[in-house]
Amino acid sequence: MQGKRMFAHDYSRVGFYMITMVTGGRRRLFGQCRDNRVLLSPAGEVVQRRWREIPQHRPEIEASTMQVMPDHLHGILYVKQPLEKPVGNTLRGFASGVTSELRKTSGNPTLKVWEKGFHDRVIMNSETLRAERNYIRDNPRRYCLKKARPDLFVRVNELHHERLPTGEAWAGFGNQFLIEKPELLPVQVSRRASEDEIGAVKGQVAERTADGAVMVSPFISPGEKAIAKMVMQQQHGSLILIRPEGFPPFYKPSGTYFDLCAEGRLLVLTAFAYTGRKQPLTRDRCLQMNRWVQEMCRAPQ
């Protein structure tokens, strides 16, 4: 697994670190899904125990929130005091200890447990820490939903359809059949729209989505977000979300959008390339997405 590092950050300093490690070949060594929960295998129990034992070997580190998944783990390490060596040394020791124990218990001296490396994210504030902890705790449910309906979590890097604006390299994630729906409804609400104006649009959208229309929008302005939230809270209504930047390598929708994807009610589209950096949401970029929305929603000739 390709490690992700924050440039010029000192990984021996005090701080919170969100860690992801995956099994070699994404083999489901550590457990299985049941009722939207992960039941750990003996190997998964070894991983969980050894993670919790990290402070015994490194008292400067607190092994905070973690979740072992069938083919990976997420965990947060809190470095309470400066380390002599970067936190990555501790993670390599943890991975090596797990591998050594599982090779002995399985009787397989060549067992490959981990993909090489790990992914980390430096947590910079309490809001991000809270979000990462919630993400980890909810990971079993999301993972099991995704495994139960893999057809709804498909990413296509070269997506072609007559409704998509030509001359662009489109990529999509989610239910691609939504673009086949007879009526695609553009949703564009000015940032300056009043509550009454937003309420009027909500009423129109609710009526059209009840008849099977699919909303199409970047869902960026407060009014657009309010309308998307309204539809997501209903039992009907689907969205085509125009993403203002490219898909990162392990992209999947988050939060309520994830649940919408699991229900087959979401398609995320982008024609922007992934650059590895957060792209500024400029006026030109917003106007470009709005033009795409209008073109997609034109009645077929």
Angle between helices 255-262 and 126-148 (to 10 degrees): 0
CA angle in degrees (0–180, nearest 5) for 177-183-186? 100
Cβ neighbours of residue 133 under 8 Å, at least 6 residues apart? 64, 65, 76
Flag whether pLDDT at 129 surpasses 90. yes
pLDDT of residue 138: 92
φ and ψ of 290, to 5 deg? -65, -35
Looking at the predicted structure, is the pLDDT value of residue 3 above 50? no
Give the β-pairing of 155-156 and 37-40.
unpaired
Distance CA 15, CA 89 (A): 16
> What mean pLDDT comes out for the span 274-291?
91
| Contact of 226 with 201, CB cutoff 8 Å | no
**Interatomic CA distance for residues 84 and 98, integer angstroms:** 23
Cβ-based neighbours of 143, under 8 Å, separated by 6 or more: 33, 38, 69, 70
List, for residues 15-40, the tens digit of each pLDDT value: 999 999 999 999 999 999 988 899 99
Domains and CATH numbers, the chain: 15-148 (3.30.70.1290), 151-296 (3.40.50.450)
Which range (37-41, 180-184, 233-237, 255-259) has the least confidence?
A: 233-237
pLDDT tens digits, 270-279: 999 998 888 8
Q: What is the dihedral sign for C-alpha 240, 168, 249, 13?
A: negative
Cα separation, 179 vs 158, whole angstroms: 15
Instruction: List the end-to-end C-alpha distance of the chain, in Å, as a whole number.
Output: 47
Residue 222 contacts residue 249 (beta carbons within 8 Å): no
Contact 209, 234 (CB under 8 A): yes
Distance separating alpha carbons of residues 51 and 61, to the nearest angstrom: 11
pLDDT in tens, 37-95: 999 999 999 999 999 999 999 999 999 899 999 999 999 999 999 999 999 999 999 99
Which residue bears the tokens 């869902």? 219
Report the SS3 class of residue 52. Answer: helix
- What is the pLDDT, as a whole number, of residue 2? 41
> Can you tell me which residue has the tokens 């939207």?
36
Strand, coil or helix: what is 282? coil
Instruction: Please determine, for residue 300, whether its predicted confidence score (pLDDT) is greater than 60.
Output: no
